[in-house]
Amino acid sequence: MSSQMLTLFKLTCLPKKTNSFCSSSCNTRKIGYFDQFLPLFDKKTDSLSYLNSNERRRVVVGLSRIIKQGQGYILKGFAKNFCPYILVKIMKSLEYRETAFGFFKFAFQDDSDEIVKSSCVAAHVLAAQNLKLLAQDVVYWVIRRVGVDRRREVVEFMWKRHAEFESDFSVLDTLMRGFLKVEMSCEALEIVGRMREVGLRPSSSAITILFKLLLRVGDHGSVWKLLRGMIHRGPRPCNHNFNAVILGFCRLGHVKVGESLLCVMQKFKCQPDVYAYNILINAYCTRGQTVDALGWMHFMINNGCAPSLVTFGTVINAFCNQGNMIEARKLFDGMKEAGHFPNVICYNTLMNGYVKARDIGQANMLYEEMKNRAIAPDCTTFNILVAGHYRYGREEDSDRLLRDLSQPGSLPVSSLYNICVSGLCWAGWLDEAMKFLEDMLEKGITPTVVVFNSIIAAYSRAGLEEKAYEAYIMMVKFGLFPSSLTCSSLIMGLSKLWKLQEARDLLYEMIEKGLPINKAAFTQLLDGYFRMGNVAGAYSLWNEMKGRGIHPDAVAFSAFINGLSIVGLLEEAYDVFLQMSEKGFVPNNFVYNSLIRGFCNSGRLPGSIDVGEGDGAKGSSS
């Protein structure tokens, strides 16, 4: 992509400075100005540190609106005393839930008993005025700030006066959701027990969240106990509950458990829906078992459940990952027969498959097909095609794509910003891309996860891992949940820099958050241990991943066999080779060559002959 074309795109397509905010320094001055409306000047912590720049901007704009509407007296009243009733008035005047919650985080200056009690009263008042979600936000923040040691105080504060404002169920449901949001599973289970004691049934939606949390932390016993409690004491399990449990077990690699749960759903008057089937189909696709995934797809159709766009997209993506573009295209074309028309996500999936297969011509044709069908491309489309042109095409193709997207009205403003950041990354202007992203955030324009992926991946490719990690931290701070691709880019970059412990910690964080593990990142980390000569580290990673239900693919098996062969652990390498075959993976020439080279280097020619004969047997049977 030429720098001239990218500059032209920035100048002609992107809006000029907005009037929503002047600058970060102005932002800081205004925040300092509004300190006068807070009652606690001798504050223990800087509550502003809990707000990102976008939240600060929203709070400042909201408070300014209150003053302009002649309601500044409310703010002055709150400045004299942390009164829960005045606090609720201010939060309601801020109109939007995110802004109101931001102000509460700003106003919660310390965690003294007085402030905690007042905040609990504010939560009661909000619940009484049917602002349940905001009440849950307040309780969540109080629990987060006081910590696990004082959690029981919050429960007792909330329970003591709740009858003046809300029902038993309302307050306990708020507490349960507060504990769930701060990921205190044991405390959430205690609230469930308290509900049972007073003859109440917990909310089905809250139990779904609790199922997800328990599965993520590995408390399987509590999952089954909670499910039994629902069956015997209510509420009766629904599809959402079953789907959450099926998803949790499939993510842990226990696909057979997920299958069993799907099969028993009807016993409890729950007909498996498209979401349940999609979970299992995705689990098999993730494990590389596309044939089984197709089997489940046919099974769901035979049972009267029509596949969705997600179903087709999942299997198409699996075929693309295997390089089987013929089957991927066949399934893509067959979507219409099932009454579905491909959306931008489906096009992006198939397009990405063609790029990975180095068939940039087919990818370009697919893009033209998108345009002819009036399907607007997005930032992902741009990244896929630019990556393809960068690796296998021509620079002028990237320029043509950028010129095409720059036509007025072709994309919404937010997409133009996202594409510009991605374009700067591909052009190698990484610092300018980061500056542009910061400017977007300052103006209140929220980028997509794809944009952060672009910056993190670009910094990682350039070997600037510290800056990549800074972008990751910024992403989390702005409330964007990182994707598997984001974490995988970081893991691969850290592995290349020999920062294996940091990479491993991030891998564990992905597992704990329920993110799908990119096998390429796992393989890169495994290879990093071998390249450092840390065989014990490689072994522990391999065994721990299997213990956590993360099953290696053919590439990971190949890397493990190669690493063991290089360090002379040939019996172990051959055992892994046999495991690979038992799992249904067909070893390629790289695997055979690794083993043969290992046996030859150790002077064990008969072993290499045995492996070679196995190679011939494989070849003759195919």
Give the DSSP letter string of 353-376. Answer: HHHHTT-HHHHHHHHHHHHHTT--
Considering the domain boundaries, does residue 171 fall inside one? yes
Long-range pairs, 219-224, Cβ under 8 A, ≥24 = 219/185, 222/185, 222/189, 223/248
- Which of 270, 291, 312 is where one domain is finished? 291
Number of domains in the chain: 3
Residue labelled with tokens 């910056």: 455
Residue labelled with tokens 């991605």: 422
Residue labelled with tokens 């080779």: 577
Report the C-alpha gap between 441 and 29 in whole angstroms: 18
| Closest by Cα among 2, 12, 13 to 400 | 2
Tell me which of 32-41, 92-101, 151-160, 242-251 is least confident: 32-41
Same domain, residue pair 190 and 103: yes
Residue labelled with tokens 């629902």: 230
Predicted confidence band of residue 427 (pLDDT cuts 50, 70, 90)? confident
Same domain, residue pair 170 and 238: no
Predicted confidence band of residue 77 (pLDDT cuts 50, 70, 90)? very high
Tell me which of 37-51, 167-181, 546-560 is least confident: 37-51
Stronger pLDDT, 193 or 601, i.e. the higher one: 193
The answer for 444, left when phi > 0, alpha when psi is -120 to 50, beta otherwise, is left
Predicted confidence band of residue 28 (pLDDT cuts 50, 70, 90)? very low
Report the C-alpha gap between 363 and 356 in whole angstroms: 10
214 CB-near residues (< 8 Å, 6+ apart) = 185, 220, 222, 223, 226, 248
Same domain, residue pair 103 and 194: yes
Tell me which of 232-246, 324-338, 469-483 is least confident: 469-483
Question: Can you give the pLDDT at residue 546?
Answer: 73
Predicted confidence band of residue 432 (pLDDT cuts 50, 70, 90)? confident
CB atoms inside a 10 Å sphere around CB 537: 18
Considering the domain boundaries, does residue 271 fall inside one? yes
Q: For residue range 249-274, what is the model confidence (pLDDT) as tens digits?
A: 998 878 999 999 999 999 999 999 99
Question: Can you give the pLDDT at residue 33?
Answer: 55
Question: Can you give the pLDDT at residue 400?
Answer: 75
Stronger pLDDT, 611 or 144, i.e. the higher one: 144
528 CB-near residues (< 8 Å, 6+ apart) = 495, 496, 498, 500, 503
Q: Is the pLDDT of residue 576 over 60?
A: yes
Predicted confidence band of residue 408 (pLDDT cuts 50, 70, 90)? low
Tell me which of 12-21, 95-104, 483-492 is least confident: 12-21
Question: Can you give the pLDDT at residue 27?
Answer: 46
380 within 8 A of 348, measured Cβ to Cβ: yes
Q: Is the pLDDT of residue 613 over 80?
A: no
Q: Is the pLDDT of residue 128 over 80?
A: yes
Burial class (CB within 10 angstroms; exposed 0-12, middle 13-18, buried 19+) of 572? middle
Structure tokens at 230: 């629902």
Question: Can you give the pLDDT at residue 264?
Answer: 96
Question: Can you give the pLDDT at residue 266?
Answer: 92
Q: For residue range 330-379, what is the model confidence (pLDDT) as tens digits?
A: 999 999 888 899 999 999 999 999 998 989 999 999 999 998 998 988 88
Report the C-alpha gap between 111 and 90 in whole angstroms: 20
Same domain, residue pair 181 and 257: no
Considering the domain boundaries, does residue 55 fall inside one? no
Question: Can you give the pLDDT at residue 146?
Answer: 95
Same domain, residue pair 188 and 212: no
Considering the domain boundaries, does residue 364 fall inside one? no
Q: Is the pLDDT of residue 622 over 50?
A: no
Question: Can you give the pLDDT at residue 5?
Answer: 53
Q: What angle, 0 to 180 degrees and rounded to 10, lies between the N-to-C axes of helices 554-566 and 570-582?
A: 170
Predicted confidence band of residue 401 (pLDDT cuts 50, 70, 90)? confident
- Which of 291, 318, 334 is where one domain is finished? 291
Same domain, residue pair 88 and 195: yes
600 CB-near residues (< 8 Å, 6+ apart) = 608
Give the gyration radius of the chain's Cα atoms: 28
Same domain, residue pair 287 and 219: yes
Q: For residue range 294-311, what is the model confidence (pLDDT) as tens digits?
A: 999 999 999 999 999 999
CB atoms inside a 10 Å sphere around CB 374: 6
Long-range pairs, 611-616, Cβ under 8 A, ≥24 = 611/574, 611/577, 615/589
The pTM of this model reads 0.75
Stronger pLDDT, 572 or 515, i.e. the higher one: 572
Give helix then strand counts, H and E, for the chain: 35, 0
Predicted confidence band of residue 234 (pLDDT cuts 50, 70, 90)? very high
In one-letter notation, the amino acid at residue 563 is: G
Considering the domain boundaries, does residue 83 fall inside one? yes
Q: Is the pLDDT of residue 416 over 80?
A: no
Considering the domain boundaries, does residue 132 fall inside one? yes
Average confidence (pLDDT) over 125-143: 98
Q: For residue range 194-229, what is the model confidence (pLDDT) as tens digits?
A: 999 999 999 999 999 999 999 988 899 999 999 999
CB atoms inside a 10 Å sphere around CB 309: 15
Report the C-alpha gap between 477 and 49 in whole angstroms: 10
Same domain, residue pair 252 and 170: no
- In which domain, by residue range, is 111 found? 74-200
Same domain, residue pair 132 and 148: yes
Tell me which of 176-180, 181-185, 251-255, 294-298 is least confident: 251-255
- Which of 247, 274, 291 is where one domain is finished? 291
Considering the domain boundaries, does residue 356 fall inside one? no
Intra-chain end-to-end CA distance of the chain, in Å: 44
Same domain, residue pair 151 and 268: no
Same domain, residue pair 260 and 184: no
Same domain, residue pair 211 and 242: yes
Q: Is the pLDDT of residue 89 over 60?
A: yes
Question: Can you give the pLDDT at residue 225?
Answer: 97
Give the 3-state secondary structure of residue 5.
helix
Predicted confidence band of residue 516 (pLDDT cuts 50, 70, 90)? low
Stronger pLDDT, 527 or 186, i.e. the higher one: 186
Q: For residue range 577-587, what is the model confidence (pLDDT) as tens digits?
A: 888 888 777 77
Question: Can you give the pLDDT at residue 515?
Answer: 67
Q: Is the pLDDT of residue 20 over 50?
A: no
Mean pLDDT of all residues belonging to the chain: 84
